[in-house]
């Protein structure tokens, strides 16, 4: 199975259930929210790439002028509409490497290692650069493997293969992790900050 097929099977809903999340994963996700709370303001036009069911935008909907979430999985976009749709939040189904949007955003994000599950990473970065003046990606580091192994096992995807750059689960999920050197090689000019002990925040 491809990552697209794995996500279409409903993986995200199980992964976002707090009962499946080890403490290190919950801390990483909270650190992302804390970061967004610091950088999103009432004047922000925010594009969230790979938004899933729209949880980041929904949490901060009172803090944005405009929020647009994009995901390729129609079922997640429908759930985002149901849970948080309506002004100022909007959700669309689209390919992250060919966004049907104008370059009018203050901020583009791709959170919770979503970028680490995407095939065309350079294409996604190019679209984020085109659409927004500030861009933020959060990813897992090479130190995240133990916490992710436990997390994936809890939501029914035990890890069966591991390399220096990715974990592969029995269910077909391929999730990458990154060193600072690899991030700089892929992204180019960027600023990298730790995000708890198991991840990074990258601004570019």
Helix (H, G, I), strand (E, B) or coil at 160: strand
Q: What pLDDT is recorded for position 103?
A: 97
Q: Which CATH class is domain 12-141+179-203?
A: alpha beta
Average pLDDT of span 63-91:
96
Would you say residue 57 has pLDDT above 90? yes
Would you say residue 4 has pLDDT above 80? no
CA distance 52 to 60: 15
Q: What is the pLDDT of residues 143-191, one digit of tens each?
A: 999 999 999 999 999 999 999 999 999 999 999 999 999 999 999 999 9
C-alpha distances (whole Å) from 88 to each of 71, 84, 134, 186 are 18, 9, 20, 33
Would you say residue 62 has pLDDT above 70? yes
Query: How is the beta sheet containing 166-169 ordered, strand by strand?
Result: 159-162, 166-169, 174-176
Q: What is the pLDDT of residues 78-136, one digit of tens each?
A: 999 999 999 999 999 999 999 999 999 999 999 999 999 999 999 999 999 999 999 99
pLDDT band at 1 (very low <50, low <70, confident <90, very high): low
Domain ranges across the chain: 12-141+179-203
Average pLDDT of span 69-73:
97
When comparing pLDDT for 14 and 93, which is higher? 93
Q: What pLDDT is recorded for position 3?
A: 72
Would you say residue 51 has pLDDT above 70? yes
């Amino acid at each position: 199975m491809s990552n697209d097929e794995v996500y279409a099977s409903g993986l995200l809903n199980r992964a976002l259930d707090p009962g499946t999340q080890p403490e290190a994963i919950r801390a990483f996700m909270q650190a992302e929210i804390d970061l967004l709370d610091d950088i999103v303001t009432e004047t922000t036009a925010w594009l969230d790439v790979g938004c899933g069911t729209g949880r980041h935008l929904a949490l901060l909907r009172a803090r944005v002028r405009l929020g647009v979430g994009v995901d390729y999985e129609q079922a997640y976009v429908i759930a985002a509409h149901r849970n948080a749709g309506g002004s100022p939040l909007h959700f669309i189904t689209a390919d992250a490497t060919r966004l049907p949007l104008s370059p009018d955003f203050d901020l583009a994000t791709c959170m919770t290692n979503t970028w680490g599950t995407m095939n065309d990473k350079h294409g996604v970065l190019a679209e984020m650069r085109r659409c927004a003046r500030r861009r933020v990606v959060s990813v897992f580091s090479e130190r995240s493997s133990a916490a992710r192994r436990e997390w994936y096992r809890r939501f029914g995807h035990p890890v069966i293969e591991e390399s220096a750059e990715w974990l592969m689960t029995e269910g077909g999920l391929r999730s990458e992790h990154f060193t600072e050197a690899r991030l700089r090689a892929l992204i180019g000019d960027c600023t990298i900050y730790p995000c708890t002990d198991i991840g990074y925040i990258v601004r570019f």
